[in-house]
Amino acid sequence: MERKGRRLVLFPLPLQGHLNPMLELANILYSKGFSIYIIHTSFNSPKPCKYPHFSFHAINEGLSESETSRIDGHLLALLNTKCVEPFKECLRRLLSDVSEEPIDCLISDSLFHFTRAIAEGLKVPRIVLRTGGASSFLVYAALPLLRERGYLPLQDSQKEEPVVEFPPLKVKDLPVPPVTDNRAPTSFYQIIDSLVNETKASSGIIWNTFEDLEQSALTTMRHDFGIPIFPIGPFHKTILASSSSSSSSSSLLIEDQNCISWLNTQTNKSVIYVSFGSSAVISETEFLEVAWGLANSNQPFLWVVRPGLVHGSDWLVPLPHGFLENLNGRGTIVKWAPQLEVLAHPCIGAFWTHSGWNSIMESICEGVPMICTPCFVDQLVNARYVSHVWKVGLQLDNGMERGEIEKTIRKLMVEKEGDEIRYRVSKLKEKANLCLKQDGSSYKSLDSLVSHISSLES
For ligand UDX, the closer of residues 18 and 116 by Cβ is 18
CB of 8 to ligand UDX, least distance (A): 22
Longest dimension (CA), the chain: 66
CB of 447 to ligand UDX, least distance (A): 25
The Cα 44–Cα 444 span in angstroms is: 33
* Three-class HEC string of 386-452: HHHHCCCEEECCCCCCHHHHHHHHHHHHCCHHHHHHHHHHHHHHHHHHHCCCCCCHHHHHHHHHHHH
Rounded Cα distance, 141 and 138, in Å? 5
297 binds ligand UDX (CB under 6 A): no
- Asked if 366 contacts 166 with a C-beta cutoff of 8 angstroms, the reply is no
Beta bridge partners of 35: 7
Site string for ligand UDX, 116-155 (x = CB under 6 A): ---------------xx-----------------------
* Cβ-based nearer residue to ligand UDX, 35 or 110: 110
359 near ligand UDX (CB under 6 A): yes
Considering the complex, state which of residue 360 and residue 453 has its C-beta at the smaller distance from ligand UDX.
Answer: 360
Q: Which of 357, 370, 396, 449 contacts ligand UDX by CB under 6 A?
A: 357
The per-residue DSSP string of 179-235 comes to TT--S-HHHHHHHHHHHHHHHHTSS-EEESS-HHHHHHHHHHHHHHH-S-EEE---H
Binding-site residue total for ligand UDX (CB under 6 A)?
25
Specify the residue, 37 or 385, whose C-beta has the smaller distance to ligand UDX: 385
Using rule CB under 6 A, residue 234 touches ligand UDX: no
**Residues in 1-30 at the binding interface with ligand UDX, rule: CB under 6 A:** 16-18, 20
Binding flag, residue 61, ligand UDX (CB under 6 A)? no
Task: From 107, 126, 113, 125, select the one nearest 27 (Cα to Cα).
Answer: 107
Give the binding range for ligand UDX (CB under 6 A) out of 95-103, 113-121, 162-170, 377-385: 377-385
Which positions touch ligand UDX (CB under 6 A)?
16-18, 20, 131-132, 251, 275, 277-280, 304, 336-337, 339-340, 356-359, 362, 377-379
